[in-house]
Chain A
Amino acid sequence: MSLNPFRASALHPATWWFLGLGLATVASLSGGWLPEVLVITVAIALMLTCRENAPWSKSVRFYLWLGAFVVGVRLLFRIIFNSGSTDSVVAFSLVELNLGGVHLLGQVSWLTLEAAATDGLRLAAIIISIGMANTLANPKRLLKSTPGALYEVATAMTVAINLAPQLIESLQRVRKARSLRGRSKGISSLNSIVIPALEDTIEQSLGLAASMDARGFGRRGSLTKMQIIATRTLSLGGILLIAFATYFLLATQSQMIAIAFMISGICSLTLTIRIASARNLRTRYRRQKPGIKDLFVIGLTVAVAALVVAF
């Protein structure tokens, strides 16, 4: 264990996600280009200083490229599919084309460009913030802290994450071995590699499942009748509330009603998950609890977000 305080594992993975989503919220709520650039700078700085040598930490470059790509595309679309804005100062003029009713190119104003760049930067900031969380939070540890109702799904994901490298190994081994035998025409080379590797991995995975089962995996408590009725009503209700919220967002201008539906929908879904988790009897060994550092980071995120919203 390294004592470097800047390592990603110093914080609970959920904290990284909280921070990432917080930054994304700040980015999507703020107006000008400056806050967006600030968010992007912070996220990049965190990614570069805290990342560890893990597979999920290798995608920093991907997120940066994607961010740049989004800004570029936004600007490009504005320039190419510019519907001939005539306002304010013209930045540059291009020959206007008309392609089957679509106006292409033409005059481009500074204001248009600035708006497009700000929009693009906002998206880039959201992408890079979430990318930061993804790069720094250990997904396996995060999957461990999922609520009980999602335990099986989370286990399947963990199994998949663990199997992926083994499967690659199997594929390489089989590919090497296949050349020993050769195959006649008509037998797809894809099959002669994928099938043995897949069979192998299924066998391994069923073996793992047997070992998990033999040690108690799959044991579930039962819910009382009341609990079952409650979860079903709440989850169906939650979906309906969200559907209503969607309707109000789309069909009317009553944002307040939509927000009310959204919040009650979210509450009932959270409650469903809480109640349904009672089925899970599992206890936890040395559960990683959020520490002071985590609370500090979370508090800071909330404070910054509140400040941005207030202005």
Chain B
Amino acid sequence: MIEFRSVVFGYQRAESPIISRATFTLRAGEFTLVCGPTGSGKSTLLKLMNGLAPHFTGGELSGKILIDGKDVTGYKPHELAELVGYVNQQPEGSFVADTVGEELAYGLEQLGFTPTDMEHRIAKNAALVGIEHLLDKPLASLSGGQQQRVAIAAAMAAGQRVLALDEPTSALDATSAAELVALLARLAKEQGITVLLAEHRLERVLEHIDSVIVVNGDSSVVKSAPRDAFKDYRLLPPVVELSQRLGLEPVALSIEEAKRAIATPVTFTRLPGRVFGEQTLLVEELVVRYGNHVAISDVSLNAQAGEVVALMGANGSGKSTMLWAIQGTGARSGGAISGPDNTLVPQRAADLLFLNTLAEELAESDKFNKVEQGQTAKLFLELSNRTDPKQHPRDLSAGQQLALVLAVQLVKGAPLILLDEPTRGLDYEAKRHLVAAIRLMQENGRTVLVASHDIEFVAQIANRVYVLEEGEITAQGRTEEILGPTGLMPTQVAQIANQPGLLLAEQVGKREN
């Protein structure tokens, strides 16, 4: 169905290509995971299918891409619309209509289907993804999972045989993500649609896929069967990493598989205990009201110097509101907050960037904070790899943008650091950098309060966890308790091993075999 023949893609200004000499074939009805360390390679591979790369991204392409026997290189996306359906990360950002029915009809209208044919196809595709009861509903009233279903139905409404999906589950909770992946697997198996799914949370998809395409950091592209792909893959979902460390053969791909494979208790090193300094932050009975809506009710928390405290909870549970209230500019209706100077890195870090080059941003930060020239740049280099200072801040990767904003905020030297969903949009490598950065702040005796719903990330950095639900604290305790096997939000490894104190695969020593 799809054939890549020595495909090379890259930007002229960058020295190394993003994808080099990709050669592979996919058969009709194959469900393939596209994964890899950086965000850009995976997306680019998908965008090559329908001409979004290079047409919307710039860059140069060589080699051949055959879809259904047709060489699609050089075509614009709209010329390939009936061949490939494309779904991106945020469905709400790509909707063009107001209601579900109109959204499904959009592509059909553009491609000139007759109104009767349209009705028929819309009904059929809506039924396939289970949204037939929603056709008259406004798109804005749907849940994230439903919205992605609409996006999928819209992408295949014209009978496209190939579906390319760029991290469609990234904004979904675990349950809706699992349902969505199962739906894709069904579409591949029952409808014979070739599905390419880019995803970095591998744990969500492993059990369903037929094959894996890895886009490596050195831009090489390798296709293989799932179990072969992960034998020596570096960016692992915890379940695979654990089975690697335990030397399981074959590698376990799901929690259930791993549970069955591990019979005896695992030996592991406990996470190091820490001694903290004096209490720096104290929040007592904080209340935040917006009109009649109570966003935060009677929340108390504290943190000590050198401690990393996590606020967890679903979207809309009040995590951001808490941070902004503690920061000082957010709304506050009651309660007391005492704490040292603080600095907040907001959810969309790029909101703080307003100059034209990286160098200007760094210099402006030195100037504003009246610190020695080059101070912010030094911090930035500690948090990220070397980058061309003439680059536009918006052209940096999400990880580099976060590093830049962190540097700009950290240079202020405030003892309390507030991070709002810092892992949003980060790939594995950037996440690793962030973990290291937070550990460094901790060693320097700063207090870090981080709002996140990323369980594995919090397990790596936090000493204590507060769980928020609709503005109230429903659980609190040490990380081992909350994220451990009997806690409210167990990590994958905790679920598998079911041993108190074991949260992360890295705690298990690597077995040589």
Contact = CB atoms under 8 A, between A and B. Distances in A.
- Whether A and B touch (Cβ < 8 Å) is answered with yes
A219 B78 contact: yes
Contact of A180 (B93, B158, B327): B327
Interface in A204-218: 204, 206-218
Contact of B354 (A196, A284, A286, A287): A196
Interface stretch (A53-61, A121-129, A171-179): A171-179
A187 interface: yes
A214 B77 CA distance: 5
A181 B409 contact: yes
Interface residues of A, number: 43
B301 interface: no
Contacts of A178: 351-352, 354
A196 B107 contact: no
A216 B75 CA distance: 12
B118 A285 contact: yes
Contacts of B106: 212, 215
A282 B86 contact: no
Contact of A177 (B50, B98, B352): B352
Interface stretch (B108-116, B277-285, B422-430, B460-468): B108-116
Contacts, number: 145
Contacts of A177: 346, 348, 351-352
B102 interface: yes
Nearest to B136: A1
Nearest to A202: B394
Where chain A touches its partner, the secondary structure class is helix
Given A211-B96, A213-B78, A214-B81, A180 B112 contact: no
Contacts of B111: 216, 219, 281
B93 A184 contact: no
Contacts of B102: 285-286
B255 interface: no
Contacts of B158: 216
Q: Quick one: which of A173, A196, A210, A281 has the most chain B CB within 10 A?
A: A210
B235 interface: no
- Identify which of B79, B93, B105, B155 gathers the most chain A CB atoms within 10 Å of its CB: B93
Contacts of B368: 181-184
Contacts of A200: 348, 350-351
Nearest to B365: A181
A49 interface: no
B351 A207 contact: no
A199 B81 CA distance: 28
A216 B107 contact: yes
Contacts of A207: 88, 90, 93-94
A281 B93 CA distance: 26
B343 A284 contact: no
A48 interface: no
B76 interface: yes
Contacts of A215: 78, 81, 96, 106-107, 110, 154-155
A215 B97 CA distance: 13
A179 B50 contact: no
A24 to B, nearest CB: 30
Contacts of B351: 173-174, 177-178, 196, 200
Nearest to B344: A180
A204 B348 CA distance: 14
Nearest to B353: A196
Nearest to A140: B98
Given A211-B88, A211-B96, A179 B364 contact: no
A192 interface: yes
A283 interface: yes
A96 to B, nearest CB: 60
A195 interface: yes
Interface in B311-369: 327, 329, 343-346, 348, 350-355, 364, 367-368
B110 A285 contact: no
Contacts of B329: 176, 179-180
B96 A208 contact: yes
B110 A208 contact: no
A253 interface: no
A191 interface: yes
Contact of B352 (A180, A204, A281): A180
Nearest to A188: B354
Interface in A192-241: 192-193, 195-196, 199-200, 203-204, 206-219
B76 A213 contact: yes
A192 B408 CA distance: 15
Contacts of B343: 180
Contact of A218 (B50, B78, B344): B78
B101 interface: yes
Interface string A143-168: 00000000000000000000000000
Contacts of B101: 285-286
Given A177-B346, A181-B408, A214-B81, A208 B94 contact: yes
Contacts of B115: 283-287
B435 interface: no
A210 B114 CA distance: 24
B52 interface: yes
B394 A199 contact: yes
Interface centre among B96, B114, B115, B355 (most CB of A within 10 A): B96
B81 A184 contact: no
Given A180-B409, A204-B93, A215-B155, A196 B350 contact: yes
B320 to A, nearest CB: 11
B346 A284 contact: no
A180 B105 CA distance: 44
Contacts of A183: 354, 364, 368
B107 A184 contact: no
A216 B113 CA distance: 12
A210 B77 contact: yes
Contact of B77 (A187, A195, A206, A213): A213
29 contacts: A173-B348, A173-B351, A177-B346, A178-B354, A180-B329, A180-B345, A181-B368, A182-B368, A195-B354, A196-B351, A199-B350, A206-B56, A207-B94, A209-B56, A210-B94, A211-B86, A211-B88, A211-B96, A213-B76, A214-B78, A214-B86, A215-B78, A216-B78, A218-B76, A219-B79, A281-B112, A283-B108, A284-B115, A286-B115
Interface of B: 50, 52, 55-56, 76-79, 81-82, 84-86, 88, 90, 93-96, 98, 101-102, 105-115, 118-119, 122, 154-155, 158, 327, 329, 343-346, 348, 350-355, 364, 367-368, 394, 408-409
Given A216-B111, A281-B112, 7 more contacts: A178-B351, A181-B368, A183-B354, A184-B367, A215-B106, A215-B107, A218-B77
